[in-house]
Amino acid sequence: MNVRTRIRRLIAASAALVAASLAVSCANPFSVEIAGEESGPVLDGVADELLPFYEQTLAWEACERPTTSEPVECATVTAPLDWHAPEAGEIDLRIARAAERPFDPQGSLLLNPGGPGASGIDLLFSSLEYGGLGERLAENFDLVGFDPRGVARSTPVECLDTRGMDAFLYDIPEGERGSSTWEKSQEAAAETFADACAENSGDLLEFITTEQAARDMDLLRAVLGDRELTYLGYSYGTFLGATYAQLFPENVGRLVLDGALDPSVPGSEVGATQVEAFEQALRTYLASCLEGTTCPFRGTVEQALDEISALLASLDRQPLVSADGRELGGDALMTAVVAALYSEENWPYLTDALAGALDGDPTGAMFLADFYNGREGGVYTSNSTEAFQAYNCMDYPTEGEMTEAQERELEEKAPVTWQYMMGADVCEFWAFPPTGEREEIHAEGAAPIVVIGTTGDPATPFAWAEALAAQLSSGTLVTYEGEGHTAYQAGSDCVDDAVEEYLVEGTVPEEGLVCQPG
């Protein structure tokens, strides 16, 4: 395997986390407890063998270690390990909601921040503490965050300990970048990671798929007492939401998919498109940086890009050592760059990080890389990296390697970012073969689905939102002409109003709606 032909997909980075940077018991089989009352039947069409799962009653309790001053409560839902063989075992799904809820809520609004691997419970906590969801939504819905299967507080994927994760994410590969020695070093790290996941997670890995997670969402809809799913999904969460709509079109209520993925795009194209998009986002950032007084670069955008390329290469040769002994190499610096480019509000952090690295100080860059990797206080506060790999390895079919011509084309389009977003593919060593397919999603018969795309989004480029909205039989596209990843509550009243009018009132945005910042 030539590892240089493998492109890392970087869909991750929860929209909510970026914005926040600066016991189950049996009961009446057709009734669940919600808002202190009993709801009517919500189990139409559920197979008999699945009724024991759908018949659960939620036992709400105070959440453990909530990161919010607002009162929140949590519950655990039992789901089949494999929805196609429900007798094969069970997993836990953890959910959370605000304890102070609307007096007369319309129902539940499920939240997913993306990833795959980001925590919906953390999204809820972040939104309650720092904002990120409009007051109108909180006044009309039970806001429910959930951790998908394999993620965080639900039955999690487990791979490496802290030392092992540090080695996987931050160690400098042996040899010169692109050499056979470098390739073998990258390959060994990927194999070590995959082997650890297999050893510590076992058969769970086979069922960490978006299709299984979408079926989990229908279970959550039912046990929460909702006849239809109301859902706000960001980034990868748009793929999860679209997959739900394909599987359960009759249960679709009001879905908003912000920062959309195109489900038909193969994995290699996903990676290549993101490489080009982050290169363009870096150019946009530098154009803004050069207009200010604190920018560490001078001259043109091209000259600044050359300086960043030289900095990356110098860190390959001589990494900077951080206070805790970890090294900032070229790959870690690129992780820091990518992390900051998810939000225009984080550009000042990128300026500080690049200025520091140029002066021999890795502190700012390590902060951004740690933020992206979920590392805080010397430990990993989530399993987002493990879950991200698990979902991608099962969702994306195995593909052939890129040709030399394709590599040259990518290098021409993204001369700075391309080689730092490539490396060994963990999925080459995964314990189970992929079961997902890359194909269009139409969700025939579903209620209107609102798809939002941002023209300057580097993680989920705007063309993907256009494609998904066109594929969905009931898709409606909202365009945000701005920068950064995802658009709701990102500085456009037009976008915010469109989302809230649809979720609260059911008013579908006008076809072709284009929104501006402000």
Torsion sign across C-alpha atoms 162, 167, 168, 170: positive
Q: Which of 92, 91, 83 is nearest to 59 (CA)?
A: 92
Q: Which of 82, 79, 81, 76 is nearest to 57 (CA)?
A: 76
Phi-psi category of residue 360: left, alpha or beta, with phi > 0 → left and psi -120 to 50 → alpha: left
Tokens 């969402």 sit on residue: 217
Structure tokens at 498: 């469109």
Phi-psi category of residue 314: left, alpha or beta, with phi > 0 → left and psi -120 to 50 → alpha: alpha
Q: State the first-to-last Cα distance of the chain, in angstroms, to the nearest integer.
A: 49
Q: Phi then psi for 149, rounded to 5 degrees?
A: -50, 140
Name the burial class of residue 264, with classes exposed (0-12), middle (13-18) and buried (19+) by CB atoms within 10 angstroms of its CB: middle
Determine how β-strand 142-146 pairs with β-strand 229-234. Answer: unpaired
Annotated catalytic residue: which of 14, 126, 235, 322? 235
Contact between 454 and 480 (Cβ < 8 Å)? yes
Cis previous bond, 517, omega within 30: no
Annotated catalytic residue: which of 316, 485, 492, 496? 485
> Which DSSP helix (H) or strand (E) runs through 98?
strand 90-98
DSSP code string of 418-466: GGGSB---GGGG-SS-----------TTPPPEEEEEEEE-SSS-HHHHH
CA distance linking residue 103 with residue 100, whole number of Å: 9
Angle (CA) 19 468 517, round 5°: 40
Say whether 485 is catalytic: yes
| Exposure letters 461-494 (e unless 16+ CB within 10 A, then b) | bbbbbbbbbebbebbbbbbbebbbbbbbbbbbeb
Say whether 48 is catalytic: no
What SS3 state is found at 232? strand
Annotated catalytic residue: which of 457, 474, 492, 496? 457
CA distance linking residue 518 with residue 516, whole number of Å: 6
Say whether 316 is catalytic: no
* Residues annotated catalytic, as ranges: 235, 457, 485
